Amino acid sequence: MKAQKFLFVFSLVVLLFSACQPQPNTATPTDPLDSVRTEVAQTIEALNTKIVATDQAAQTQTAISFVPSPVLPSSEPSPAPTLSLPTDPAVPTAALLQTPTSSGSCDQAAFIDETIPDGSQFPPGTVFNKTWTLRNAGSCTWNADYDVVFSSGDPMNAPAALPLTESSVPPGSSVTISIPFTSPLVGGSYRADFKLRNADGVLFSFKDPSQTFWVEIQVMTGKIDLVAMACSIRWSNVSGELPCPGLPTDTRGFAYTDFAPVLENGAKDNEPALWLGVQQIQDGILRGTLPVMLIPENAKFSTILGCANDQESCDVTLRLSYQEGDKPLVEIARWQKVHDGKLLSITQDLSALSGKSVRIILQLEANGSPYGDTVHLLAPTIAP
């Protein structure tokens, strides 16, 4: 029994010893995941190689390129990839914004000056001209194909259209427009508006295209007030036309209104007056030509004539004349005035002209030296 136990123990020891020795001819056991790891490594290497090749190609090609965005773990959907498109050569911004425009867009006017201020008074049936000076503020040249056209209001016998110019008016240049009118026979306020029209028939005016240029007058009834219509009278000397109102320092001659005049006798009056001064030359004159007007029945010319209070050397002649159409002037009356501290009251009958359309002309003349030849016409009127 002991011998059997010994043999059993001995065999067990030998077996354990044999198991602990190296086995050179036995195959090394493998991890079943090694093959998976190898395939992953190969895939990554292939992707890296492909990305490098793609980057190099993108540097030399102009075709559409796809720029991948890094993939980050997120619960939100990944953003769409950025797509870069090839572009054409740069185009100037001005060219992109430029759009076709109408032929009238280059036409624009700017106001410079006018005659006959708004509210000027005229007797019924008075023929007069109003003049505007406009500047070409656009980029198109105005020419004989451009017109002035009536736009709205009461035309007062003005033409519906007339040529703007007979020559070219380039941008920056100015043009003078003169339109004839006849004041209505019924008293009241009247206005006529005008615009310009280019060769394509497009109306235009100023920066604000809704604006117009116009004439606005008051038609007087009962009497013709020469103070109220002072600047509707054409004032001139032997050399040409004078501005209205004028200045008493203007050596060319002048006419202006005064609503609180100091008369020759030193009295201050509350009626309006016209102050007139001759051109400062020997025998200098000042002429005032009224527009053509219909003379009322039984009309009279009335005023109070006097020299300036401080002009003791004053010595003048005042002539009253009329002209019918293109006929020669006809003198009606004349008055001489020197500074003597007295006022000369004038009432001249015009009944011979009743119902006629004529121009009335006032002419002040220096009797020799013009020094001190300044006079007032107090409340000058033509009335029944």
Tell me the pLDDT tens digit for each residue of 67-87: 444 444 444 444 444 433 333
CA-CA distances (angstroms) from residue 268 to 260, 272, 347, 374? Answer: 7, 11, 22, 17
Listed residue (128, 116, 358) closest to 245, CA to CA? 116
Is 60 contained in some domain? no
CATH number assigned to the domain comprising residue 362: 2.60.120.200
CA distance 352 to 295: 10
Give the pLDDT confidence score for residue 42 in this predicted structure: 54
Confirm whether 311 is domain-assigned: yes
pLDDT of amino acid 39: 53
Single out the residue in 221, 256, 284 at which a domain terminates: 221
Pair 231, 379 in one domain: yes
Same-domain check for residues 267 and 203: no
What pLDDT band is residue 56 in, cutting at 50, 70 and 90?
very low
Residue 170 located in a structural domain: yes
Secondary structure in 3-state letters for 216-285: EEEECCCCEECCCCHHHCEEECCCCECCCCCCCCCCCCEEEEECCCECCCCCECCCCEEEEECCCCCCCE
- Kind plus residue range of the DSSP H or E element containing 42: helix 34-60
Are residues 253 and 146 part of one domain?
A: no
Write out the DSSP string of 301-337: EEEEEEE-TT-TT-EEEEEEEEE-TTSPPEEEEEEEE
Give me the mean pLDDT over the 248-264 stretch.
Answer: 97
**Separation between Cα atoms, residue 246 and residue 364, nearest integer Å:** 15
If one compares 18 and 259, the residue with the highest pLDDT of the two is 259
27-31, 81-85, 167-171, 366-370: the lowest-pLDDT one: 81-85
| All residues at 6 or more sequence positions from 50 whose CB lies less than 8 Å from its CB, including other chains | none
Question: How many separate domains does the chain show?
Answer: 2
Structure tokens at 294: 């219909």
Strand 213-219 versus strand 120-122 pairing type = parallel
Residue 122, pLDDT score = 87
Do 307 and 375 belong to one domain?
yes
| Residue 203 scores a pLDDT above 70 | yes
What global pTM score does this model have?
0.60
pLDDT digits (tens, 9 = 90+) for 292-329: 888 888 999 999 999 999 999 999 999 999 999 889 99
In a domain, 1, yes or no: no
The range of the structural domain enclosing residue 272 comes to 225-383
Are 372 and 276 found together in one domain? Answer: yes
Q: Select from 169, 200, 221 the last residue of a domain.
A: 221
Q: Is residue 38 part of a domain?
A: no
Please indicate, yes or no, if residue 12 is contained in any of the structural domains.
Answer: no
Whether residue 241 lies inside any domain: the answer is yes
Q: Are residues 304 and 269 in the same domain?
A: yes
Q: Mean pLDDT over residues 228-245, rounded?
A: 93
Is the model more confident about 234 or about 12?
Answer: 234
User: pLDDT (tens digit, 9 = 90+) per residue, 207-223?
Assistant: 999 999 999 999 987 78
- Domain termination site, one of 206, 221, 236: 221
Is pLDDT of 126 > 70? Answer: yes
Task: With cut-offs at 50, 70 and 90, classify the pLDDT of residue 357.
Answer: confident
